[in-house]
Amino acid sequence: MKFKLSSFECAISALAIVVSMAQSPAARPNILWIVIDDMGCEMSCYGEELIETPNIDRLAREGVRFTNAFLTSPVCSTARSSMITGMYQTTIGAHNHLSGRGERKIQLTNGVEPIPVLFQKAGYFTSNGDYPKKTEGLGKNDYNFEWDASMYEAPYYRGRKEDQPFFAQLQLWGGKNRHRPPWDKGEAEDLLGSVVDPSEVVLPPYYPRDQLILEDWAQYLDTVRYTDKLVGQILDQLEEEGIRDDTIVVLFADNGISHARGKQFVYDEGIRTPLIISGPGIARGQVRGDLIEHIDLAATSLALAEEAVPLWMQGDDIFASDYRSKEAVFAARDRCGETVDMTRSVRTTKYKYIRNFFPGRPHLQPTNYKDTKPILIRLRELHEKGKLNTLQENLLFSPDRPIEELYDIVSDPYETINLAGRPEHEGQLVSMRQRLVDWMKDTHDPGPESDEIYAIEMEYQIERNKRNPEGYAAIKRNVELYQRWMTEKPYVPLLEE
């Protein structure tokens, strides 16, 4: 991709691939998912003050903005596996990141089908493409289970029949644009007109105001601005085609910002993402604060298309007349790449409870994917030099983790004060713990990955990095470390197990 001033012409040309000539209104609405990589709620309609996102704000004004929407997993492949089925990734066995890619395969069972298959059966045209276009093939999918590529008929929906409704996905790079053109080429100002001043960035308290960390977060905010431009182009083209009034747009992200306490972790920085739904039949300018799980999007999309929601689906139609707001939402983090972990969380509008099943291991466990990022390298340097404050040291570099964490989300939104163990919060701790136990039982949580399956999965992880000598060596070292830790720093089960 090129991002000079003339790039808008390129972007519009790319968008022409996405959309077709204006057609007469479909009897049933089109459903368009705009799926953003690595992006949280740092948008002006969600309260971010340093930047403006006028196009996403416009989408929110035209529809419903959800302020408490949460992923059931904080990393792309597991989150996408669940969002496309409407099922918890732990229930369908797709809960370990980048699993099922090598010799061992994961099959969907008990009648579970990805929703593009259900839309096809209902007569919808299905598509999944990158935006702006980067490749000739399908856009990002990243599912951990076996699936047939024919469930997507094309990258973009222009090939549909006249008056045929579509279920389409557009995949935006979002926060993954950091450290890529135009930011690493000095051309971001040409694209955006200005860039965020790092000195004005407001960081969570557990990140130091180091220049590199500030510059990285400023870049991230600029990727939010760029994402907003792309959203504006998509909405404008729908208007130009005359199909905006026939299309329900669903905008959300697959995990939060990729950072030391964001992506891959069940803190709000990793699992809270934007969710905006706009289109025919959707209230305009509404803000909903009830708890939503991203597995609800499958059921909701089917219902908006006037299709029955399968009984096996765990997500809910959040616009149903008999919909009852959730009392709590749940999330799970398991192995990410070569990094062994098992963390579960339950969150209400007031409290967050986290259970660490490998408490003897540090928060920032070795992982080649994250350890190569400049921000993680810098954080480790500051840690070694003793330049982090007590809060940052305790939350990021403690050699182990508490078995239980309990946070008052209202008074402590950054989740920095662990209330577990305090007598005055014992009742709340017991209640939240029981909620988690019940959920794990009800959804058939499979527990930790066995040593044998880990060894099989790591054959794939090692093989896919053979062309990168440094990554190959690092992953092999990490795998050996985790195999040793299986004895030295073992899994700690729930008492109820």
Residue 497 has pLDDT above 70, yes or no: no
Residue 10 has pLDDT above 80, yes or no: no
20-29, 371-380, 392-401, 422-431: range with lowest mean pLDDT: 20-29
Q: How confident is the model at residue 187 (pLDDT cuts 50, 70, 90)?
A: confident
Instruction: Map residue 420 onto helix, strand or coil.
Output: coil
CB 84 within 8 A of CB 115: yes
- Quickly tell me which residue has 């368009």 as its tokens: 32
Classify residue 380 as left (phi > 0), alpha (psi -120 to 50) or beta. alpha
Cβ of 286: how many Cβ atoms within 10 Å?
A: 13
- Angstrom CA distances, 255 to 35, 65, 331, stand at 10, 18, 12
- Quickly tell me which residue has 């593009």 as its tokens: 116
Amino acid identity of 283?
A
Q: Cis peptide leading into 182, omega within 30 of 0?
A: yes
Cβ of 428: how many Cβ atoms within 10 Å?
A: 18
Burial grade of 266 (CB within 10 A; 0-12, 13-18, 19 or more): buried
The pLDDT > 90 percentage for the chain reads 88
416-469 pLDDT per residue, tens: 999 999 999 999 999 999 999 999 999 999 999 999 999 999 999 999 888 899
317-330 pLDDT per residue, tens: 999 999 999 999 99
Q: Are strands 125-130 and 286-288 parallel, antiparallel or unpaired?
A: unpaired
Model pLDDT, residue 461: 92
Say if domain 332-450 classifies as CATH 3.30.1120.
yes
Model pLDDT, residue 158: 85
Residues 6+ apart with CB under 8 A from 435: 328, 346, 353
CB 254 within 8 A of CB 79: yes
Instruction: Collect contacts of 381-385 with beta carbons under 8 A, ≥24 apart.
Output: 382/208, 382/210
Estimate to the nearest angstrom the gap between the alpha carbon of 92 and the chain centroid. 18
Q: How confident is the model at residue 136 (pLDDT cuts 50, 70, 90)?
A: confident
Choose among 84, 40, 72: nearest CA to 297. Answer: 84
Model pLDDT, residue 495: 66
Q: How confident is the model at residue 26 (pLDDT cuts 50, 70, 90)?
A: very low
Residue range(s) occupied by CATH 3.40.720.10 in the chain: 7-326
DSSP string of 272-313, one letter each residue = B--EEEESTTSPSSEEE-SBEETTHHHHHHHHHTT-PPPTT-
38-42, 181-185, 339-343: range with lowest mean pLDDT: 181-185
CA distance 339 to 330: 21
CA distance 301 to 248: 9
Choose among 46, 56, 96: nearest CA to 76. Answer: 96
CA distance 210 to 126: 46
Choose among 54, 116, 107: nearest CA to 83. Answer: 116
CA distance 486 to 468: 27
Model pLDDT, residue 183: 77
Model pLDDT, residue 5: 32
Model pLDDT, residue 24: 37
- Farthest-apart Cα atoms in the chain, separation: 65
Residue range(s) occupied by CATH 3.30.1120 in the chain: 332-450
CA distance 191 to 177: 13
105-118 pLDDT per residue, tens: 999 999 999 999 99
CA distance 456 to 464: 13
Residue 248 has pLDDT above 70, yes or no: yes
53-104 pLDDT per residue, tens: 999 999 999 999 999 999 999 999 999 999 999 999 999 999 999 999 999 9
Mean pLDDT score across all residues of the chain: 93
Q: What is the CATH number of domain 7-326?
A: 3.40.720.10
263-316 pLDDT per residue, tens: 999 999 999 999 999 999 999 999 999 999 999 999 999 999 999 999 999 999
